[in-house]
C-alpha cells in the first residue's frame, strides 16, 4: 500500500496514479491544504482507500512528522502488510511490485521490518539520471512493515517514512535493490526553487547538515541513461 502526502500537485498527480496503480495495492492519501484541485482529483481516484484533508493554511507550514503519523495510522485501518511512502513527483520502476515481493521474502528470512531503497534523480531528459557523488548513493527508508509499535521520526522536514525501530544495530536501514525516480529535479528552474524553499525553511541546516546549495551545484556532474529494463512508466514528454 502506498502513502501519499501532497499539496497543489496537479502537475504530477495524473502521472503518479498512472504509475502506482500497477505496482501497489491502493493508496492512502493526505491533502495538506491544496487549492489547485488536487484534493478533488485524488478523491475521485478509485485506487484511493482513504483521503485525509487538512485545512488551507496561509502561510503554509509543511510538517513531515505530522503527515507521516496521520497516514500510517490511517493505513493501519486497512490492514496492510507493507507500506511505501511515495511523493506525487516520484515514480516506481517498472516491475517494482515483483522485485518488492522478493525483497519482502528476504526480509522475512533475515528478520527485517524496513528497507532503504534507491532514489534516482531525473536530470534534464526524462530518461537520464545524475550519478556523480552523493547523487549516485542516495537511498531513502521508504518501505516498511505496518506495525502497531511504529516509532515515528519526529522531524518537520526530511523525515524518515520507515519506523526508527526498523533500523539495524548501526543505525542504518537495510538496503533493498528497488528504485524510485524523482522527477522534480529534471528542470533547472525546479532545482533552484527547491534549493531556495529549503534554505528558507531550514536556514541553519538543522534538519539536513549538508544544506541545500548542492541541489543546484553542477560541479563534476555525471549523467547516465536509465536502464530500459528498470525504467518507469509512463515516461513524461
Which tens digit of pLDDT belongs to each residue from 103-152? 999 999 999 999 999 999 999 999 999 999 999 999 999 999 999 999 99
Give the Cα separation of 107 and 164 in Å (integer): 16
Q: Does the global pTM surpass 0.85?
A: yes
CA-nearest of 148, 107, 140, 105 to 121 is 140
Domains along the chain with CATH numbers: 2-230 (3.90.550)
Beta bridge partners of residue 182, listed in sequence order: 90, 121
| pLDDT on residue 161 | 97
CA-nearest of 68, 62, 104, 66 to 86 is 68
Helical H segments across the chain, by residue range:
13-20, 38-43, 64-76, 96-110, 188-201
pLDDT beyond 90 at 165: yes
Strands, E assignment, the chain: 2-6, 27-32, 48-54, 82-85, 90-92, 114-121, 128-130, 139-145, 175-182, 223-225
pLDDT tens per residue, range 178-216: 999 999 999 999 999 999 999 999 999 999 999 999 999
What's the whole-number mean pLDDT along residues 37-49? 97
Do 115 and 173 touch, CB atoms closer than 8 A?
A: yes
pLDDT beyond 90 at 62: no
Which of the four pLDDT bands, split at 50, 70 and 90, describes residue 237?
A: confident
Give the Cα separation of 155 and 168 in Å (integer): 20
pLDDT beyond 90 at 60: no
Share of the chain above pLDDT 90, in %: 96
Average pLDDT, the chain: 96
| pLDDT on residue 22 | 87
Amino acid at each position: 500500500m502506498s502513502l501519499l502526502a501532497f499539496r497543489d500537485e496537479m502537475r504530477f498527480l495524473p502521472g503518479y496514479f498512472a504509475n502506482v496503480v500497477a505496482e501497489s495495492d491502493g493508496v492512502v492519501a493526505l491533502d495538506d491544504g491544496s487549492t489547485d484541485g488536487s484534493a478533488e482529483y485524488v478523491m475521485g481516484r478509485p485506487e484511493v482507500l482513504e483521503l485525509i484533508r487538512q485545512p488551507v493554511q496561509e502561510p503554509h507550514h509543511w510538517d513531515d512528522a505530522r503527515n507521516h503519523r496521520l497516514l500510517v495510522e490511517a493505513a493501519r485501518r486497512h490492514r496492510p502488510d507493507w507500506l511505501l511512502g511515495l511523493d506525487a513527483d516520484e515514480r516506481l520502476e517498472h516491475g517494482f511490485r515483483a522485485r518488492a515481493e522478493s525483497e519482502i521474502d528476504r526480509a522475512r528470512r533475515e528478520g527485517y521490518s524496513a528497507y532503504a531503497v534507491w532514489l534516482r534523480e531525473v536530470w534534464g531528459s526524462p530518461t537520464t539520471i545524475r550519478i556523480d557523488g552523493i547523487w549516485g548513493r542516495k537511498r531513502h527508508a521508504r518501505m516498511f512493515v505496518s506495525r502497531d509499535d511504529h516509532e515515528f521520526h519526529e522531524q518537520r522536514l526530511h523525515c524518515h517514512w520507515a519506523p526508527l525501530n526498523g533500523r539495524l544495530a548501526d543505525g542504518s536501514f537495510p538496503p533493498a535493490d528497488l528504485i524510485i525516480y524523482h522527477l522534480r529535479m529534471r528542470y533547472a528552474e525546479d532545482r533552484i526553487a527547491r534549493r531556495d524553499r529549503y534554505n528558507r525553511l531550514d536556514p541553519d541546516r538543522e534538519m539536513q547538515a549538508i544544506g541545500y546549495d548542492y541541489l543546484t551545484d553542477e560541479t563534476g556532474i555525471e549523467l547516465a541513461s536509465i536502464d530500459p529494463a528498470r525504467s518507469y512508466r509512463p515516461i513524461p514528454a
